[in-house]
Amino acid sequence: MDPLSDVLSLLRPRTAISAGLDAGGQWAIRFPGHEGIKFNAVMQGACWVSVEGEVEPQRIAAGDCFLLTRGRPFRLGTDPSRPTIDSATIYEQAKEGIATCNDGGDFFLIGGRFAFEGDHAGLLFGELPPIVHVRNATDQAAVLRWSLGQLAIELKRTSPGSTLMSDHLAQIMLLQVLRLWLAGERRSGWLGALADPRLGRAMQAMHAEPARRWTLAGLAAEAGMSRTSFAERFRDVVGQTPFDYLSGWRMRLAADRLRRTEDSVAAIGYSAGYASEGAFSSAFRRAMGCTPTQYRRTAAAVLSAQDRA
């Protein structure tokens, strides 16, 4: 798989909820912080979105979509300065997943919230702004609106395969947003490296063979650059050296296997490129703050608690 697909495969998004908002007249609603991310599409009318900690509100018009990536409280409304009501006052009375404000009729939005398994979401969403705005004029917006509408249908059905369909729709929406964001202005971080043709080739090579004993010369050759130019360019864009990035990715792969398999610590360490269990355990502790065995026990306890909930 390519690096972006690798990361999304670790996240394993799961659809948590889908709901609509039908509003009329002048209105403003305050939403609390949330787990995971929220994805919304405006089907009719327009509104302003203000995310806590961001200076400027953004106007979202019919046909636009937006992704809220940080779980921060936010507000929607016809006027950014208008007094708000709490979202619970209308969503607690929602009918068939649709909340109504001021009798509705002028504005309609459909949204979904996605949760993620594991603890890797920060790797992806830490690279994105708190709100990602996808405008109606783009081809991706049409795909996203269809996906979100289909998601709402699947969540209301009990048809065979609805759960799997919903999870795949979540993946599609995330991927479409990320593709659009990467196609924009110059990006930084590991996502920015994917958008750089030369660095992207080196990233692809590392993800294809994470256990390989890569050298700076080998990675530079993959990028078609000199060692010095590659090292400087990678550090400038990604914010860390190629080997720091590679080490971090190896640890995430190892953590995923510790969480999901019963493979021995030694086998997982070897698959991550370490010659001995001791070397792997030391590197894992430095990166994750605990030993591989401690991580596995904690992850098992979390999964058990989730199953009981």
Q: Domains in the chain, ordered, with CATH? A: 3-182 (2.60.120.280), 189-304 (1.10.10.60)
For a pLDDT cut of 90, what percent of the chain falls above it? 50
Farthest-apart Cα atoms in the chain, separation:
66
Least-confidence region, from 29-43, 68-82, 104-118, 257-271: 104-118
Using one digit for the tens of pLDDT, what is the confidence trace for 171-223?
777 777 777 777 766 677 888 898 899 999 999 999 999 999 999 999 999 99
Q: Average pLDDT of 133-158? A: 73
Closest CA to 154 of 119, 123, 189, 112: 112
Q: Average pLDDT of 126-136? A: 83
Q: What are phi and psi of 225, to 5 degrees?
A: -130, 165
Mean pLDDT of the chain: 86
Per-residue pLDDT, 299: 83
The answer on pLDDT for 260 being more than 80 is yes
CA distance 283 to 292: 10
CA distance 113 to 98: 15
Q: Which residue has the higher pLDDT, 306 or 269?
A: 269
R_g of the chain, CA atoms, integer Å: 22
Per-residue pLDDT, 137: 66
Q: Average pLDDT of 121-125? A: 72
Burial state string for 123-141 with b = 16 or more CB within 10 A and e = fewer than 16: bbbebbebbbbbeeebebb
The answer on pLDDT for 272 being more than 80 is yes
Q: How many residues does the chain have?
A: 309
The answer on pLDDT for 143 being more than 80 is no
Q: What are phi and psi of 54, to 5 degrees?
A: -100, 135
Per-residue pLDDT, 216: 97
Bridge-based pairing state of the strands 28-31 and 85-86: parallel
Tokens of 20: 């609509």
CA distance 1 to 208: 7
The answer on pLDDT for 291 being more than 90 is yes
Per-residue pLDDT, 127: 75
Q: Which long-range contacts (CB under 8 A, 24 or more apart) does 300-303 make?
A: 303/259
